[in-house]
Structure 1
Amino acid sequence: MTEHRFIGTVIRATGSWYEVLSGDETVRCRIRGRLRLKGIRSTNPVVVGDRVVCEAEEEGDYAICSIEPRRNYVIRRASNLSKESHIIAANVDRALLVATLFRPETAREFIDRFLVTCEAYKIPVTIALAKIDLARRDPNAVADFHRTYEGAGYRVVELSATEGEGVEAIRSWIGEGTTLVSGNSGVGKSTLIGALDPTIDARTGEISESHHKGKHTTTFSTMYRLRSGGSIIDTPGIKGFGLIDIDGAELWHYFPEMIGRSGACRFYNCTHTHEPGCAVAEAVRAGGIAPSRYESYLKILDEDDKYRK
């Protein structure tokens, strides 16, 4: 029986009502007043993964009255509000980014922006290269993807959820704790979740033939417990990933392959954009850093500068 006041974990957020797990019981709650986190201008103050304090109200409903301090969170700039943010999930132990080379194609810049955010909040990431059965029709593209992201220090798992390839490797990597599963619409997140645990009813959808883009199948973020242990957070498909609260002078700190080379730059305050004697730029020319990663770095610096002013 739910107590008058309890602390639980938000496992589903719909924008107006929230499902909070307390022990083995799920309680439907609303937000009391206007909760705001200090220093964060967010379109969604309560997110999946939050530890929250809930209290019973006179009419029998429950309300979230406060949020416990977060260990971390994954955040992006709100798509239509440049000065506000949208928090995807909180208190996660690791992130799994699901990407595809075909039907649909995941943009490299999207991947890089997601990785930068996880690096900034010290969340380890593994990349699942999904629909690998389709991708192998272009072995050069597959090899380039591995070279780019494994060269940057990330693990890449080839995945075909429909055929079962890579599922056990991902299940083993997830282990205990909470894993955020993210990616564009149509890359197969829900199919993967169903393969990890067939008892989970995460909806799947098809790809739009006209634009080869995914249809949105997950409407709200939801946390699921896996029978094999641990929990996963399934998120709606994300179209864009604008960075927020990352200083341009520190951006290169979140590209692991740049960190190891920056010490050899001629200038200690090198921005890795135009300076002579830049070891990072030299590594790009020599093939040690993937050109697409460096291009993402330059583009993030250029396009996001207006949001940091």
Structure 2
Amino acid sequence: MSRAESALPGRVVAAHGRHYRVVLDASPAPRHCYTKGKKAGPAVGDRVLVLPEGLNEGVIIEVLPRRNLFYRSDAQRSKLFAANIDQLLLVLAAEPEFSDDLLGRALVAAGSADIAAHIVLNKADLPGTARARARLALPESLGIAVTTLSALDTEQTRARLGPVLQGRCTLLLGQSGMGKSTLLNALVPEAAAPTQAHSEALGTGRHTTTHTRLYPLPMGGDLIDSPGFQAFGLQHLSAHDIEQGFPEFAPAIAQCRFYNCTHQHEPGCGVLAALARGEITAQRHALYLRILAENEAARRY
């Protein structure tokens, strides 16, 4: 019998570096697994084939075809967040102040992979919440739902997010310090994720999650928790992928004179015309240009 024939199917439920926990279809007990070689490893949520070793270990020999893969990338490395997800739950807060640029990039990554996004504005008891909520008018105008709550209120959190999460595989994502771990604990008490206050001196959060892990939800479905981030490169996206991350461009792109229009300076560009009419915001178009320029510069070097 070949190695492939001896391998058993399973699902990756945790990842830390090149070490993984996999739950095999045939057994609920997770196995501690690793990969061989230098090829890209699996992500949490991946379906894989595992060659068992001993009582509770194994070698991942193949990653099975994915529905999608959500990740960020820059010149140094790629960070795989999760695979085969149904939606992205982006956690923001008034304090520390969230970045519009990082929020926009995460939404572009989701849009390019055809993954639905939902925003949670956490820490609703803070005085800056109204101003933070107003800043979310732009993504909300793009059809992205926004839920405001305090994750410290467990009952409220479960009541408002339960219908959003039920029966779906959801990636929990956020900048450091947004209260993501508190939200996770409200939804999955057994997670017992460590929490700590953000640094008031720096106005930034500290990473409390160090690895990615999948948790079954009591109401059905799964929640994948991932480390907080302070950067979100998108160098893996092609120019077409970047366009896909801006769904509001689609009607205007159909009006472009040239099929290979970059929507930067070309005559007869439908996107630039829509921008001039106020149908596309200057903020979103500027983000599009930044991502495009970064990726072009990265390819040159």
The TM tier, using the shorter chain, reads: 0.7 to 0.9
> For residues 14 and 141 of structure 1, do their structure 2 counterparts lie closer, same or farther at Cα, with a shift above 3 Å needed?
closer
Letter matched to residue 47 of structure 1: A
Please tell me whether residue 273 in structure 1 is matched to residue 264 in structure 2.
Answer: yes
The corresponding residue for 2:49 is 53
Q: Tell me what 1:120 maps to.
A: 112
8 A contact 1:151–1:257 mirrored in 2: no
Q: Pick one of 17, 20, 35 that aligns with 2:19.
A: 17
User: In the alignment, what sits opposite 1:294?
Assistant: 285
Q: Unpaired runs of 5+ in structure 2? A: 1-5
Cα distance, 1:140 vs structure 2? 4.7
How big is the shift at 1:245? 2.7
Rounded Cα–Cα distance in structure 1 between residues aligned with 2:201 and 2:9: 47
Per-residue Cα deviation, 1:238-293 (whole angstroms, up to 9, x for no partner): 11110033222552232011113333445554322223454433444444333322
8 Å CA contact 2:118, 2:145 repeated in 1? yes
* Amino acid aligned to 1:15: G
CA distance 1:235–1:250, shift in 2 (3 Å): closer
Asked if the contact 2:49/2:60 (under 8 Å) is kept, the reply is yes
Equivalences for residues 179-198 of structure 1 within 5 A: 179-198=170-189
Contact kept? 1:130, 1:187, Cα under 8 Å: yes
Q: Which residue of 2 aligns with 1:30?
A: 33
Q: Give, in whole Å, the separation in 2 of the partners of 1:158 and 1:98.
A: 10
The answer on 1:222 being equivalent to 2:213 is yes
TM-score normalised over the length of structure 2: 0.87
Q: Aligned pair in 2 of structure 1 residues 61, 248: CA closer, same or farther (>3 Å)?
A: closer
1:63 and 2:54 matched: no
Matched, 1:261 2:249: no
TM-score if structure 1 supplies the norm length? 0.85
- In structure 2, the residue corresponding to 1:213 is in which secondary structure? coil
Q: In the alignment, does 2:156 pair up with 1:156? A: no
Instruction: Identify which of 133, 138, 159 aligns with 1:168.
Output: 159
2: CA distance, partners of 1:305 / 1:190: 36
Separation in 2 of the partners of 1:221 and 1:288? 38
Q: Could you say if the C-alpha distance between residues 69 and 267 of structure 1 is closer, same or farther in structure 2, counting changes exceeding 3 Å?
A: closer
Alignment partner of 1:95 out of 88, 91, 95 = 88
In structure 1, what residue type is equivalent to 2:143?
Answer: G
In structure 1, what residue type is equivalent to 2:104?
Answer: D
Matching residue's letter, 2:150: S
SS at match of 1:12: strand
Cα RMSD (Å):
2.5
Q: Where does structure 1 lack aligned partners over 5 or more consecutive residues? A: 37-41
Counting only pairs closer than 5 Å after superposition, residues 193-212 of structure 1 correspond to structure 2 as 193-212=184-203
Alpha-carbon spacing, 1:56–1:139, altered in 2? closer, same or farther (3 Å): closer
Task: Name the counterpart of 1:143.
Answer: 134
Residue number in structure 2 paired with 1:39:
none
Using the aligned pairs only, state the percent identity: 36
> One-letter code of the match for 2:166?
G
For the 8 Å contact 2:173–2:226, the answer to whether it is kept is yes
SS class of match (2:29): strand
Q: By how many angstroms is 1:167 displaced?
A: 4.3
The 3-state SS of whatever aligns with 2:250 is: helix
In structure 1, the partner of 2:3 is: none
Q: Determine if contact 2:22/2:33 at 8 Å carries over to the other structure.
A: no
Matched, 1:247 2:260: no
Does the Cα contact within 8 Å between 1:5 and 1:56 map onto a contact in 2? Answer: yes
Q: Deviations over 1:151-204 (max 9, x none)?
A: 222112223212355542322111113110111111111111122233331221
Amino acid at match of 2:112: A
Q: How many residues align?
A: 293
C-alpha deviations, 1:20-46, integer Å up to 9, x for none? 12356232323242262xxxxx4xx12
